[in-house]
Amino acid sequence: MTLTPTPSTRNAPSPSGSGVVIDIRQASVRFGSFTAVDRVSLTVGPGEVFGLLGPNGSGKTTLIRALCGLISFAEGEAFVFGRDVRTDAERIRGRIGYMSQKFSLYQDLTARENMDFYAGIYGLPPALAQQRKHELIQLTGLEPYLDRQAGKLSGGWKQRLAMVCALIHSPRLVFLDEPTAGVDPVARRDLWDLLFRLAAEGITLFVTTHYMDEAERCARVGYIYLGEMLALGTPHELKQMEGVTPPGSRWLEISGIESASLFTQMKERPGVHEATLFGLSIHALVDAQASLRDLGLDDPRLTVIETEPTLEDVFVSLSKAQDRKLQLATSPQGGGA
Amino acid sequence: MSAADHAGDGFEAFRSSSQMLMRQSGWLGSAQRLYAVARKELFHVLRDPAMLFFTIFIPIVEMFLLGFAIDTNVRRIRTVVFDLARTQESRRLLDQFKNTDIFLLKEEVFSDEELKSAIVSGQARIGIKIPEDYSRQILSGNTAQVLILVDGSESSIAGTAVNVSNAVALRASLEHLLQDRPMPVDSRPQVLFNPDTRSANFFIPGLMVVVCQMMAVTLSATAIVREKENGTIEQLFMTPVRSGELIIGKLIPYMVVTTVEFIIVTILMRIVFQVPIHGFYLTLLAIFMPFLLTMLGIGLWISTQTNTRDAAQQIAIGTVIPSIFLSGYVFPLDSMPIFFWYVAQIVPTTWMIDASRGVILRGASWAELGSHSLVLWSMAIVILTLASARFQKHL
């Protein structure tokens, strides 16, 4: 690989031996000639909240499915709880929870029946099942909705029910595949509160998401693009990556006056490389040499502060760099040169 | 945020139980997973009113239709008469036709055109024309010809009409020749098992089989497809449930529901249609089990092949059609071309219908039906093995 070294190879905490919950080594998944996951390496430690980001079709769900043994890795190795995914999938599945992007509970069964079903499927002894249900109902506040059919619950409650079903067997690792897609902000916040409480209990969480604010809340983040893991590290580490802030440039946050017209003007200026509008403020990458006057930002009403790139900046620049590289590799001139 | 903040709301217990968690393993765990799947599946069946309606109510309606409305025995065929002779002899011949109960002498016509148009228009199926010289020919010892026009568009009616009118003519001839002497040969047919040759007795034992087959195949055809359609299969695959547990767990409630249906239909047959059961009903139930498993296996196989419930149900109905036409349910196997006769032998329904008629009508016992059971068990094992092999816990 000729990728620029990512923080993962330099800074990633390398939890060793029994401390590692997920350990993926140079693993690939192929569907025919299409490589859905391309030589990904990754370790996740106990109690960690790991966020996997990437556009649709980039291989996030495929990676999760492969880790659960539902799809075979074409090459490389993967271990969950120290067990080989290829040979021990059934044992692993008994110890992990999974909550998918689609609400995949039985709509015609009541909340309680859904819980009972999963308790049974995971082989919980009845007394323990009873106790677990009680705890999780307390935790999620599902009590008033137990006898309602799952299909008739609102989005947020459906999601809590899905959560209960995924946690019924006290898994030490939970995969959440876009758990907050299509959920209202309050329910989203509630879910994340719940996730942090689980993490505090030492439960490892592997979350895929599209939301940058959710990514910011993860202890570590991986960015997967077209099957390749382009970046891996804490949100802070990712923002320090070279290429995100090219030499001789800096990130500014501008606020104070009506931003929309200023934003249009700014995009015309030669010293401005990128500008994004966030409500009343503008987030921009500019030449470090350029003065505020050069940038048209010398209006006294403006507040201009130097800032660091957002995760979105990181992912956008990584994706663009990767696209350029792939274009170069596939175009005949690039290949011949 | 730390766990201590939430000590009061069940989180402590949550921690303690996650440490003491023990899963049941071995056959006990397997039985528990099986039970969980079976229970859930039964809920699905009971909570789907449309499905219940189609699987339980429609067969019963079908049974009433076939039981009451359909009579395969040809009787009272509408007949028109063109009697040119109008003599004592001609009237006697017409009475003989009438007495067979096969011909219903509706009206008289007075020309060849009317005779023909009555048949073309469908007013009558049979036309009898007695020539003017009928009596004279008989009395002078010559052959008197009677024209029987038969509408051939319904083959069973035509066949019966031809046979019966020949018999009537033959009988009339013999009576004329023998005068008062007795008939030299008298055939006394004795219809065993179904002395009144009632259609219900013939149809319903076959119908129960076809109805339950329809039910079993459509129910199990939706078993896996429903989970695919709703996206629940993925969640299911993430659990430690094994393919075998999933398949058996899903089939058990369908077995129960279909067996209940079979018994309901039997009770209706006995009470409403007065079809006597000459054999031992448990023998029939015992043979029904492998048949049911075969049908559930076919449904399951369909389920693994399709991705939507609609497609699954259409294929399910498609598989029922050959078993209606090639099983002897409607058309007798004996009159099939030899090729189709062999095809019929590999249709499970053929064996089950024969067993059903055997027990109910002929009073057949295990000794006569052992081979049926053996054949059906073999089919069940082959089909369930194929279906299970197709269904793997892999995306």
Quote the pLDDT of residue B324: 86
Sheet holding A49-53, edge to edge: A96-99, A173-177, A204-209, A49-53, A220-225, A228-233
For A32, counting Cβ atoms within 10 Å of its Cβ (0-12 exposed, 13-18 middle, 19+ buried), the class is exposed
Task: Suggest the residue from B21, B222, B236 to mutate for an interface test with chain A (most A CBs closer than 10 A).
Answer: B21
> Tens place of pLDDT for every residue, chain A, 337 residues?
333 434 333 333 434 445 789 999 999 999 988 988 999 999 999 989 999 998 888 888 899 989 988 888 999 999 999 899 988 888 888 889 998 867 678 999 999 999 999 999 998 888 999 999 999 998 888 999 999 999 998 888 888 899 899 999 999 999 998 888 777 888 888 888 888 988 988 899 999 988 888 888 899 999 998 888 988 999 888 888 877 888 888 888 888 777 778 888 888 888 888 888 887 888 888 888 888 888 878 888 888 888 888 888 888 888 888 888 888 877 655 444 3
Quote the pLDDT of residue A9: 37
Q: Please, are residues A69 and A92 in contact by the beta-carbon 8 Å criterion?
A: yes
Centroid of chain to Cα B80:
36
Q: Write the ipTM.
A: 0.76
The alpha carbon torsion through A254, A255, A257, A260 (nearest 10 deg) reads 70
CATH T-level assignment (fold) for domain A249-308: Alpha-Beta Plaits (3.30.70)
Ranges of CATH 3.40.1710.10 domains, chain B: 77-178
Handedness of CA B98, B103, B107, B111 (dihedral sign): negative
**Which chain A residues are within 8 Å of B49, Cβ to Cβ?**
none
Question: Nearest CA to B290 among B207, B216, B378?
Answer: B378
Using the beta-carbon criterion (under 8 Å), do A102 and B231 form an inter-chain contact? yes
Residue A147: strand, helix, or coil: coil
Query: First-to-last CA distance in chain B?
Result: 38
Mean pLDDT of all residues in chain B? 85
CB atoms within 10 A of CB A8: 19
Q: How confident is the model at residue B197 (pLDDT cuts 50, 70, 90)?
A: confident
**Which chain B residues are within 8 Å of A136, Cβ to Cβ?**
14
Q: Please, are residues A48 and A218 in contact by the beta-carbon 8 Å criterion?
A: no
Q: In this structure, what DSSP letter does residue B239 have?
A: S
Using the beta-carbon criterion (under 8 Å), do B40 and A169 form an inter-chain contact? no
Task: Suggest the residue from A68, A110, A121 to mutate for an interface test with chain B (most B CBs closer than 10 A).
Answer: A121
User: What are the backbone dihedrals phi and psi of residue B198, each rounded to the nearest 5 degrees, phi first?
Assistant: -75, 135
Query: What b/e readout covers A39-67, taking b as 16+ CB neighbours within 10 angstroms?
Result: bbbbbbbbbbbbbbbbeeebbbbbbbbbb
Q: How confident is the model at residue B10 (pLDDT cuts 50, 70, 90)?
A: very low
Distance from C-alpha of A24 to C-alpha of A85, rounded to nearest angstrom: 10
Report the amino acid identity of residue A176.
Answer: L
Quote the pLDDT of residue A144: 94
User: Angle B143-B147-B152 (CA atoms, 0-180°, nearest 5)?
Assistant: 140
Q: Which of residues 203-262 of B touch A (CB under 8 A)?
A: 230-232, 234-242
The CB-side HSE value for B332 (13 A sphere, CA atoms) comes to 5
For B305-339, write each residue's pLDDT tens digit: 898 989 998 999 898 888 888 888 888 888 888 99
Q: In this structure, what DSSP letter does residue B42 have?
A: H
Which CATH number applies to A7-239?
3.40.50.300
A7-239 and A249-308 have identical folds: no
**Which chain A residues are within 8 Å of B40, Cβ to Cβ?**
106, 109, 113, 117
Using the beta-carbon criterion (under 8 Å), do A120 and B33 form an inter-chain contact? yes
**Which chain B residues are within 8 Å of A105, Cβ to Cβ?**
232, 235
CATH T-level assignment (fold) for domain B77-178: abc type-2 transporter like fold (3.40.1710)
For residue A79, the surrounding DSSP H or E stretch is strand A75-80
Handedness of CA B329, B332, B333, B339 (dihedral sign): negative
Give the start-to-end residue ranges of the domains of chain A. 7-239, 249-308
Q: In this structure, what DSSP letter does residue B362 have?
A: I
Q: In this structure, what DSSP letter does residue A309 have?
A: P
> Would you say residue B23 has pLDDT above 60?
no
Distance from C-alpha of B218 to C-alpha of B220, rounded to nearest angstrom: 6
Using the beta-carbon criterion (under 8 Å), do A117 and B232 form an inter-chain contact? no
Crossing angle, helix B88-99 and helix B155-178, to 10 degrees? Answer: 130
